[in-house]
Amino acid sequence: MRSETEMMDLINYFIATAPNIRAEILNGSWANPNVEGDIFQDYDVCCFVEDVAPYRTDRTFVEQFGELMIV
């Protein structure tokens, strides 16, 4: 399992290298310092893009963040 720093680095790299993404917001439990973490805590990232079509047709970009547990 990746550390919090490794995961945030991976997310930030993805956003910095994706020319279509204009803004991002981290929300959910990682954005709330009052939430006690657990092994199932995930990263809820909202990306604001110019064109959503590439992400609808090719969802393989998700694989770089780790194995999907629930789809």
Specify the pLDDT at position 17.
94
DSSP code at position 19: T
Q: Rounded distance, CA 34 to CA 18, Å?
A: 31
Does residue 25 contact residue 11 with C-beta atoms inside 8 Å? no
SS3 57: helix
Q: Over the stretch 34-45, which tens digit does the pLDDT of each residue have? A: 999 888 888 899
pTM, 2 dp: 0.80
Does residue 55 contact residue 61 with C-beta atoms inside 8 Å? yes
* Spatial CA neighbour of 22 closest among 50, 53, 45, 44: 50
Q: Over the stretch 7-30, which tens digit does the pLDDT of each residue have? A: 999 999 999 999 999 999 999 998
Task: Check whether 71 has a pLDDT greater than 80.
Answer: no
Specify the pLDDT at position 40.
81
